[in-house]
Structure 1
Amino acid sequence: MWSNLPFDLLATIFSFLSPDSVARARSACHHWNTCATAYPFPPERQHHPLWFLAFPTRHRDLLCYAHNPITDNWHTLSLDFVPHPVRPVAPLCGLVLCRLTSKTALELAICNPFTRQYKALPALNIARTNPAVGLIELGPGPNIPIHHFRVYVAGGMSEAPRGGALYEPMLEMYDSRYDTWQIIGPMPMEFAVRLTVWTPNESVYSNGVLYWMTSARAYSLMGFNIGSNTWRELSVPMADRLEFATLVRRDGKLTLVGGTCGGDALIWELGDGDFWRSIGKVPIELGVRFLGGKESWGSTKCVGIDGVVCLYSNLGSGMVVWRQDLVKGLWEWLWVDGCCSIRGKEVKNLPIKGVALQPNLAPSFMVNICSKCFVQ
């Protein structure tokens, strides 16, 4: 019976399995392997904790490290299928939007470390260095039967007509349905400067607005309203006291994680009227363990997406994780040991850039995300 189930029904059953269990199921028979590699699993049927992927930031080897929350094990994933060293920008439906670190001007690509697929995005209309990057995932709609996404690039340095460099005040957008970049329009020069000098690449999209964190003098937010093409600045709680501040998305809402010197790591959520409300903090015992006797949160990094928030530093250091129990619907704090060895082999304690995602093992899912730019 199991070998004769229709692909769509079998794929629905597989969607309840964790990614490592799906990988084992693929080896059972040809029928199962074909189903697992040819049919995308419905995103709304994912019932498993998100994985954490760690990309070394200074190591030249093409690899990354993945933490499986089901088995609490670390794995090495080779990136030898990627032609250039990359650094993650954001998760994308089980894939990773990356920037090429070997290039001075921004070049973006999408890869799946689990199925070993890679696609370089086209060159921007304006070559620019160190711009802010924002990502929006868009699901199927009445007139659009496929998942697709848009990438926004703001600010950065571009070449001046007579030599030298200048801040770039034009906003560009990539649409995966057409595999092209287009100029959206101008942006305030002040915002272009601050997004170039004082912000990391990544952003968070919530309620129609792309947000970037800036750290000029004190932390603040730059927001771009997609519908109206307008910009605005938003204040940050305890802005002048935070040693680190990171934006994440939690339950679809804009969430801020930040820590103060000698104090706690706190979490706020943006509500109606641009009002920030405190929704939690890192438990004292986990904070002490994470800091290892230090009082500063300055070296802390954080990633988060619906379902999980991870505070980390280096590969070998442990992580503090705030994760939603998908059965109980409650959020719980836990500790995850760092990656010090894999299968008995010692792993160097490297500086890393992390990303949280749900692994996707079906190669054809890439076609559903972008029908024109992805090929198998």
Structure 2
Amino acid sequence: MYRSWRRKYKRPPPGYKQVWRPVHRSPPASVAFTVPTMDSFHFYVNEASWSDEETEITRKGTGVFLPNLELIESDNSQEENPVPIDILPDDIHERILSCLPLSAIFKASCVCKKWNQIVHSKKFTLKDANFLSEKTWYFMFTSSIEPVGYLYDSGLRKWYNFELPFMVHHTWHIAPSCGLVCFMDDETSKEMYICNPISREYETLKNPPSLGFSVYSALAFSVDQSKSKYTISVVRSIQASDDFLLWNISIHVYNSNEKTWLPPVMGTMEGWRPGDVSAICNNILYILVFCTRPNEVQNFHGLITYNLDNSESSFGVLREESVISAPCALTCGRLMSVQGKLVLVGGIGRPDRPGVIKGIGIWVLSGRAWMEISRMPHKFVQGFGELDDVFASSGGGDLIYIQSYGGTALLVYDMDTRQWFWSQRCMMHKKFPLEIFSGFCFEPRLQYL
């Protein structure tokens, strides 16, 4: 009726008016709706961990951060009686919540007690977890005194204010796997954290016993969802000679089923030393090592492997032939497991100045050979500086993230489409010139394991 009147008279009919009705910020005891469609649900959210910098009315219908005001079109001649949502059975509630994006699910848990119980129930996390996005999210933080940062949803291409349940510093070792993230501070703390950033559940573990003052340490983490367990590896290296040629190495492995650290595996490396980069892929531990022999090529990198299923107590002295050479002269390297393959993201050094980056490349390990996947276009390289170790990188699913330590710019590479692109602009600002930014990616999951 209204549409036909508008087409004929170019104005609303008598008695029709538009009313701006504010939405209350406090959660009501019950939620009412008039038409059982997803666009008619109004969320009342008051949670500090999930917030948005923008207000965009056009986002209504996505289930993400509805505006505080909504336009209500009403006709005085008709009155609608609200129907309480509690009359719906629980399985209908679950189906409604499963249609929401992940970023809105925990907001919906603040609407009423029923939704809160459903969202945090084991049945919902296991049965309805298949609707979650397969794309990894990225958490960016800085050297702040609070555990706050920004979370990037790569599916919706949007940033959110986010807070971890504990303080994290950019000097910590961080290793993600299958929705869980392992944090280790090997300098000032004796504990490490295993955390699901989405549900904010976490547990603490004691760091493995140290056999001495380690100069370098590396953290690797892998989750086996089929067996509901995870494996942690901590690699520590200590200088064994005055000429830096001989290094002692120890590998500490933690199995969550046994809830204990296994006896450390000891070894010695001659001419090579482990650094602070390692990764677990298909139950193989990969450790990035550096050449300590005087040579013309500086910052020469290599890779050693250790089978975590190996029952031997020691691997002895690692020889030259056991080291897998880097694909080229690298200034730095980052290891990660992406699509079941070991991926190396490294800064490519200049021939005349090996410590200066001329580009950033991505390689996949095939046997003992590296296959180059892509090199970052030159127009993107300029935003990462020229020093030897200037970026953080992590990957999962089909995405690889590369972030400059000196800013909030986040570059993404899609392994499936072989394309480079910038993420949406992050709202985090630089407070002082030497401020350092870092981050890590993880798969969003509701369940802990």
Which TM-score band (shorter chain)? 0.7 to 0.9
How far 1:20 sits from its partner (Å)? 0.8
Larger gyration radius, structure 1 or structure 2: 2
Partner residue of 2:175 out of 90, 97, 106: 90
Name the aligned partner's letter for residue 177 of structure 1: N
Partner residue of 2:377 out of 283, 300, 306: 283
- Cα 1:189–1:206 change in 2 (3 A) is same
Q: CA RMSD in A?
A: 3.5
Structure 2 CA distance, aligned partners of 1:334 and 1:254? 22
Q: Which runs of 5+ in 1 are unaligned?
A: 142-146, 159-165, 370-376
Matched, 1:23 2:119: no
Aligned twin of 2:440? 355
How far 1:296 sits from its partner (Å)? 5.4
Aligned twin of 2:327? 237
* Greater relative CO, 1 or 2 (CA 8 Å, sep 6+): 1
- Cα 1:45–1:270 change in 2 (3 A) is farther
- Cα 1:207–1:268 change in 2 (3 A) is same
Matched, 1:32 2:115: yes
Look up the SS of the partner of 1:215 in the other structure: strand
Structure 1 CA distance, aligned partners of 2:168 and 2:408? 27
Look up the SS of the partner of 2:323 in the other structure: strand
Structure 2 CA distance, aligned partners of 1:219 and 1:22? 44
Matched, 1:257 2:345: yes
Aligned twin of 2:146? 61
- State how 1:135-146 maps to structure 2 within 5 Å: 135-141=221-227
- Cα 1:70–1:97 change in 2 (3 A) is same
Q: Which runs of 5+ in 2 are unaligned?
A: 1-35, 37-84, 240-245, 292-298, 351-356
> Is the contact between residue 244 and residue 298 of structure 1 (CA under 8 Å) also seen in structure 2?
yes
- State how 1:1-376 maps to structure 2 within 5 Å: 3-6=88-91, 10=94, 17-39=100-122, 40-41=125-126, 46-56=132-142, 58-79=143-164, 81-82=165-166, 87-100=172-185, 103=188, 107-126=191-210, 129=214, 130-141=216-227, 147-157=228-238, 169-186=249-266, 188-190=267-269, 194-195=273-274, 199-200=275-276, 202-216=277-291, 217-228=299-310, 232-238=322-328, 241-260=329-348, 261=350, 263-271=358-366, 273-288=367-382, 290-291=383-384, 294=385, 298-314=389-405, 316-323=407-414, 330-337=417-424, 339-341=426-428, 346=429, 348=431, 350-360=435-445, 362=446, 365-366=447-448, 369=449
Count of residue correspondences:
328
Structure 1 CA distance, aligned partners of 2:325 and 2:160? 40
Structure 2 CA distance, aligned partners of 1:170 and 1:284? 40
> Is the contact between residue 315 and residue 338 of structure 1 (CA under 8 Å) also seen in structure 2?
no
How far 1:78 sits from its partner (Å)? 3.1
TM score, norm. by length of structure 1: 0.74
Identity rate, percent: 21
TM score, norm. by length of structure 2: 0.63
> Is the contact between residue 237 and residue 250 of structure 2 (CA under 8 Å) also seen in structure 1?
no
Look up the SS of the partner of 1:35 in the other structure: helix
- Cα 1:47–1:59 change in 2 (3 A) is closer
How far 1:151 sits from its partner (Å)? 0.8
How far 1:170 sits from its partner (Å)? 3.9
Structure 2 CA distance, aligned partners of 1:110 and 1:182? 18
